[in-house]
Structure 1
Amino acid sequence: MSIVLTEDRGAVRHVVLNRPEKRNAFNDELVVGLRTVLEAAADDDAIHCVVLRGAGPMFSSGMDVNFLGALALDPGRLRTSRRPIIDTWNLLEEMPKPTIAQIHGGCIGGAMELALACDLRVMAADAVIGLVETRVGLVPDVGGSSRLPSVVGLGRAKEMILASKIVDGIEAERIGLVNRVAPADELDDTTTQLVSELLACAPRAVALAKRLLDTVAKPTLSASLELEVQAQELCARSDDFAEGTRAFAEKRQPEFTGK
């Protein structure tokens, strides 16, 4: 079975991350599969909206633990390994049709950065979401640091990133991180309602409005994405990251030194 599934519901394409046995953690195969499917959706004139969701008990746990292990062993590979991820995440923001992340269970780290690249987010009340990179000595570097402030404001973005704060769906809606929240068993219906509101509008006008809003909200996105990777390169070579990955593997609290 494909690692990324698609389901068309009229003019809406549902894209489903299908690695549930690994909590839909992103490895190279899943990133490539997602990119292929998103490119096809962007190019299909019959599709007017894209919904991204995950198979199994959660949306996604973020980047595969093997990615962190490889980065710890060879920090120099950061840019080359990060590029296809950034390009794939950016597709959600750049395609001329609205994109929605439908979040259940958990949406952690790189998965939240993926959701932030979507135009809108719908979340189950009992789901959790957060950027937890600072807990292992890293920074959110696939768009999280660049996109989160424009969604929730600088102060809340700092709180979430600096403290690796995880929030549930109720809190996520309160701070503006997600557009709608619903009980888990009503999540699909709530997404469908939002989609119907989007489909009631002219597709070309929606596409142009999306481009205008993104340009105004994030005029320096490409520059800030470069700053993210520069910061991550420093983190990847730090003693704190080495300690963070050891502590993660050993299931204990890290002892950071700031070096």
Structure 2
Amino acid sequence: MTDGFDLTRDGEVARLTLTRPEKMNAITYGMWSAIPDVVAEVEADPGLKVLVIAGAGKHFSAGADISEFGELRTTAEGAASYDKAVEGAVAALTAMRKPSVAMIQGNCIGGGCQVSVACDFRFAAEGSRFGITPAKLGIVYHFDSTRQLVSLVGPAHAKYFLLSGELITADRAREIGLLNDVFPAPDLETSTLEFVSTLCSRSQASIRGMNRIIEKIVAGQETSDAEVEEIRSAALHGVDYAEGVAAFLERRPPRFTHR
């Protein structure tokens, strides 16, 4: 595993922890570059259903490790290479069929917020802070990440984030749609994992199929296509559909087996 990461498994749940608490879990070039491999590992493991991303210590992540910029982003070529690594990480998280959940405490800023927005769900502790700060660095934000942010919070709030670089509270982040929920800090992990357990109990065929369709809609697709129809047809003829209907008629919880 790349320095700065710790990938662990607890039953059906994988947890990727950012492990640079002395740097507020700032994300290095090596960490950005490794995220697609982490995602591929989780996706390929039939025993895993959900990926949780968290930060060690008091913070989720303060963003990209700017101390590297003097070496890695001083030329157009270097900046392009760095941006390619970031874009690859975002693309990998976005394209996951298995759900991803960001469990956030403390600062979730810049690249850290970018990672959380690329996840399917975001839960935060009270007292967390959020911001995206390219305007403080003279950087223009990545297109796909901008699109994801706009889809979550709308253009007005996205402009506030990106053009001002100001930070907002967790409560405000929930109000504008950036967060799914906010919990007292001592309850964050328990409450988040309760939701993760719910995801694990649902039909994985449904979850992964709908996750792909939502990804297409967020990317701008307006009508169905052959892939969407194949996803829906495969679900209709799958074991989870038969079990779900039987469980409903028998008034019992479903026992889904699709992995």
Q: TM-score with structure 2 length normalisation?
A: 0.79
CA-CA distance at 1:38 after TM superposition: 2.2
Q: How does 1:1-259 map to 2 (within 5 A)?
A: 3-70=4-71, 73-141=74-142, 143-219=144-220
**Match for residue 248 of structure 2?**
none
Listed one character per residue, the Cα deviations across residues 40-80 of structure 1 (whole Å, up to 9, x for unaligned) are: 11111110111000112211111111233236632332222
Residue 153 of structure 1: SS of its match in structure 2?
Answer: helix
Letter in structure 1 aligned against 2:133: V
Displacement after TM superposition at 1:177 (Å): 0.2
- Which residue type is aligned with residue 165 of structure 1? E
| C-alpha RMSD of matched pairs (Å) | 1.8
Q: CA deviation at 1:168?
A: 1.3
Q: How far apart, CA to CA, are the structure 2 residues paired with 1:176 and 1:167?
A: 12
Q: Report the AA paired with residue 89 of structure 1.
A: V
Higher relative contact order (CA 8 A, sep 6+): 1
Distance 1:127 1:17 in 2: 16
Q: Deviations over 1:106-150 (max 9, x none)?
A: 111111111111011001110101101102222222743221000
Provide structure 2 residue ranges, at least 5 long, that are not aligned to the other structure: 222-259
Structure 1 contact 110–140 (Cα < 8 Å) conserved: no
- In the alignment, is the contact (CA less than 8 A) between 1:4 and 1:33 conserved in 2? no
Give the superposition deviation at 1:101: 0.6
Counterpart contact for 1:86–1:142, Cα < 8 Å: no
Q: Check conservation: 2:124, 2:183, Cα contact below 8 A.
A: yes
Supply the AA of the counterpart residue of 1:114. V
Runs of 4+ aligned structure 1 residues displaced above 6 Å come to none
Identity %: 28
Aligned residues: 220
Deviation by residue 1:85-110 (Cα, 9 ceiling, x = unmatched):
21122211212100001111111111
Structure 1 residue 219 displacement after superposition: 2.3
Q: Say whether the 8 Å CA contact 2:124–2:188 is kept in structure 1.
A: yes
Under a length normalisation based on structure 1, what TM-score does the superposition of the two structures give? 0.79
Q: Secondary structure at the match of 1:177?
A: coil
**AA paired with 1:131?**
I
* Partner Cα separation in structure 1 for residue 34 and residue 216 of structure 2: 28
Q: What letter is aligned with 1:24?
A: N
Distance in structure 2 (CA, Å) of the matches to 1:30 and 1:168: 27
> 1:142 and 1:88, CA in 2 relative to 1: closer, same or farther beyond 3 A?
farther
Shift in Å at residue 34 of structure 1?
A: 3.4
What's the secondary structure of 2:103's corresponding residue?
Answer: strand
- Paired residues of 1:93 and 1:117 also in contact (CA < 8 A): yes
Pick which of 205-214 and 70-79 moved more.
70-79
Distance 2:21 2:143 in 1: 22
Q: Which amino acid aligns with 1:171?
A: R
Which structure has the larger Rg?
2
